[in-house]
Structure 1
Amino acid sequence: MRIQDVSASVTVGLLLALPVVFLARVSHRRRLRKYEAEVRRMERENRDMRLRLVLEEARRRAAWRAGLGSDRAERRAGYSPSVEDIDGVTPAEFEDVVRRLLERDGLRAQVIGGRGD
C-alpha cells in the first residue's frame, strides 16, 4: 500500500468524522443552554418562593398583632392570676393556667395532659 493511499484514507476518514464531531458539539451546546435556562428558572422560582414566605410571615405577624386588639394592660385585666394563685394549683390546673395565659396573649394552646407531656 502506498503512502498516498494511506494519506487519502486518513483524509477521507477525517472528513467523515468532522461532521460527527461538529454535530456532537452543537448537541452538547444545546443541552448546556437548556440546562442553564432550567437552572435560571429554578433560581427565579426559589427567589419568588422565599419572597412569598417572607410576605406570608409578615402577614401572619400582622394578623396576630391585630388579633390581640388591645394593649398589654387590657389583656392582663382579662386574665392575670397572682403568684399565690399559681402556687396553689395542682399540676393539671397549672397546665390550664398556662394555656389560658397563652390564649390571653393571642396564641393557640391545648392542654394535652397525661404523664410525660
Structure 2
Amino acid sequence: MLWYLRGAGLEPTPFFLTLAAGALCGVSFTGWVQGPGSTQTKLAVHIVVVAVLVTALVLLTKVTGWAVLRQLPAGWIGGTALFLSFASLPFTTWTALGLFGRFLFPLGRTRAARPTKRG
C-alpha cells in the first residue's frame, strides 16, 4: 500500500501481495470457524460473515459501480479502502468455499477417510 500512497500507482507487486494477504486471512478465518469448539455458534458466525461480505461486495461493485471508492479522499483513507476492497475478494471467496464445504461434507469426512467394512 505504501507504493500506492507514494504516488507510484498500482504496481503489480503490492496488488498481488494484497490478494495474497486477503487469501491468507480467508484461510485462517475458515480454519478457525471449522476448528474445534462450539459448532453451532461458529456455523452461525460463518453464515453471517459470508452473507455480509457477499452483500457488501455486490453493493460496492454492481449497485454503486465503485463510486463509493472514487468519492473517498486520495490519501490514506482512499488507499486503505482500495486495498481492503482488493483483499476482500479472496477473503470472501475462501470463506464462501469453506461454507460450501461444510454443507457438502457435513461430517467432515470424505470417502477416503471413512473406515472400510471388513467382512
TM-score calculated relative to the size of structure 2:
0.26
Larger helix share, 1 or 2: 1
Which of 1 and 2 has higher RCO (CA within 8 Å, sep 6+)?
A: 2
Q: Which has the larger Rg?
A: 1
Alignment TM-score, normalising by the size of structure 1: 0.27
